[in-house]
Structure 1
Amino acid sequence: MKKLFLVVISSILFAFNANAADMRIALVVKGLGIGFFEAAAEGGQEAASEIGGIEVIYTGPATTTAEAQIEVINSLIAQKVDAIAISANDRDALASIGKKAMDRGITVISWDSGIAEEGRVMNLDPSNTALIGSSNIKWMKNSMGDEGEFAILSATSQANQPKCLD
């Protein structure tokens, strides 16, 4: 995760057109207490320590909804953070709050699960959804053979995970 967040932080610095001196970057996750995002926060802290001059604010909502993320982002706008890196619960619902943050001089990028283009300056995807979906189906077929049934469990319909099923 540290390598991923070296890329995230470098992308923010590039988009922000700045150096890292005394920069506050908010890492907004889909929801607190999720192992993947806890690891991301740890990687973000390690990357920030390696670069220096960066404070990472790890935050997110208690519930995995766009409305809860909007509340978190409004709070970050009020705190005048320098940048927000968000994994969105709903790409379209978060576009206007991302635009609001950018209108106030805050650099906004999305990662893992993107915000619609008008609400961010860039999006960093860990992979492409078609590749993830086809790889998962191949792995299931190889492990099950030609018999049996399987179920696919995913996140909310607004999240990026269901796109892997298309």
Structure 2
Amino acid sequence: MRKFKFMTLVLSMMLLLAMLAACNSEEEASGSKDAEDVEVVFIPKMTGNAFFESGNDGAQEMAEEHGFKVKYDGAPEGTVANQVQIINSAINSGADAIAISSVTSDGLNQALKKARDAGIEVVTWDSDVDPDHRSLYINQGTPEILGKMLVDMAAEQMDDPQAEQQVAWFYSSPTVPDQNSWVDYATTYIEENYPSWEIVTKQFGEGNEQKSLQIAESILQTYPDIDAIICPDSTALPAMAQAAQSNNLTAEDVIITGFASPNSMRQYLENGTIQNHGLWDVKTQGALAVYVASHLAQGNELKVGDTLDVPGIGEVKVEPNTIQGYDYEAEDSGIIVLPERIVFTKENTNDYNF
């Protein structure tokens, strides 16, 4: 009798242990985590730039509000080697997700594959990677939206945009994916709508303030009759405006426009060096990037066609990669486009602080 009771007790304990193991296995399989246990590494192209610092402001505010952790990790120089090192550091530290603005379309593939193999969620923002190596891209606008916007901001300042115009492009790099996609579409848009425009040069500042200022000075000296300089880069645009101001040029002498944060360009709007420039709310973009990364890291899925209600931002939708012109399609790889973009002028620039 005692032996029977003992065996019953042993069997009961074995059954209980098996049930606990099954529960633990199911929990591990689901990958579910609480927000407070999630760390997102938020990676800019470079640190010390007003655009990326503003994105981090939005990321940190979102993390504080919703209980997850965000580590801002970048380098002053935006290079592939630096970003690979930061990704590897995230892997080694046991990060749960990465939200990165990439300096290259394909140079991070191996590092990102290693991160995903380690169970790290990969989200991109501002500048994308090969879509096969990330889940979601938090996109400020498609090439069509932003390429057209760049050209229109210049054209609306011209007395006759259909007349002959000498135009220069000035931005960060011939390899950075986001800016080149905008310029590619803008070139087609110019050919179709403003065939009299001549693109006289395309220059690159590599995201470096000093080099960008030197190139800006060079453009003005080499092309004294330039009509418009379009700078879809948050380092090139303020450098171009600074060079124009140093040469006592105003928006009446040369049209300078492009993309940069309002805080970096306000003085040039107010003193008449430029008439307009554009951007999107990068604080919102940073906040959305880390929220989506944390959402995925907590074990949630976001597939193409799904919507997500993001606190303080609203409902966003996962669009297919094809809206960015990519061939790669997968159920778990897509693009979320920010809801709006802004043209800043002297009249509205003080309404924004980022």
Structure 2 residue identity aligned to 1:74:
N
Consecutive unaligned residues in structure 2, runs of 5 or more: 1-30, 185-354
1:21 paired residue among 31, 36, 42: 36
2:166 paired residue among 145, 149, 163: 149
Larger Rg: 2
TM-score (norm 1): 0.84
Structure 1 residue identity aligned to 2:182:
C
User: In 2, are the aligned partners of 1:155 and 1:162 still within 8 Å (CA)?
Assistant: no
CA RMSD of aligned residues (A): 1.5
Alpha-carbon distance change, 121 to 18 in structure 1, aligned in 2, over 3 angstroms: farther
1:81 aligns with 2:99: no
Deviations 1:67-126 (A, max 9, x none): 211011111111111110000000211122111101001111111111112221121111
1:45 aligns with 2:52: no
Secondary structure at the aligned position of 1:91 is classed as: coil
Secondary structure at the aligned position of 1:151 is classed as: strand
Mapped to 1, the partners of 2:34 and 2:105 lie a distance apart of 29
Aligned residue number for residue 164 of structure 1 = 182
Mapped to 2, the partners of 1:151 and 1:102 lie a distance apart of 40
TM-score (norm 2): 0.41
Consecutive unaligned residues in structure 1, runs of 5 or more: 1-15
Mapped to 1, the partners of 2:48 and 2:32 lie a distance apart of 32
Structure 2 residue identity aligned to 1:68:
N
Secondary structure at the aligned position of 1:26 is classed as: strand
How many equivalent pairs are there? Answer: 150
Alpha-carbon distance change, 156 to 50 in structure 1, aligned in 2, over 3 angstroms: same
Q: Which runs of at least 4 in structure 1 moved beyond 3 Å after TM superposition?
A: 16-19
* Per-residue deviation, 1:145: 2.8
Matches within 5 A, 1:59-138: 59-138=73-152
Mapped to 2, the partners of 1:132 and 1:26 lie a distance apart of 27
User: In 1, are the aligned partners of 2:123 and 2:137 still within 8 Å (CA)?
Assistant: yes
Secondary structure at the aligned position of 1:137 is classed as: helix
Aligned residue number for residue 33 of structure 1 = 48
* Per-residue deviation, 1:150: 2.8
Identity among equivalent pairs (%): 31
Alpha-carbon distance change, 119 to 17 in structure 1, aligned in 2, over 3 angstroms: farther
* Per-residue deviation, 1:21: 2.2
* Per-residue deviation, 1:62: 2.2
Mapped to 1, the partners of 2:131 and 2:149 lie a distance apart of 27
Structure 2 residue identity aligned to 1:42:
D
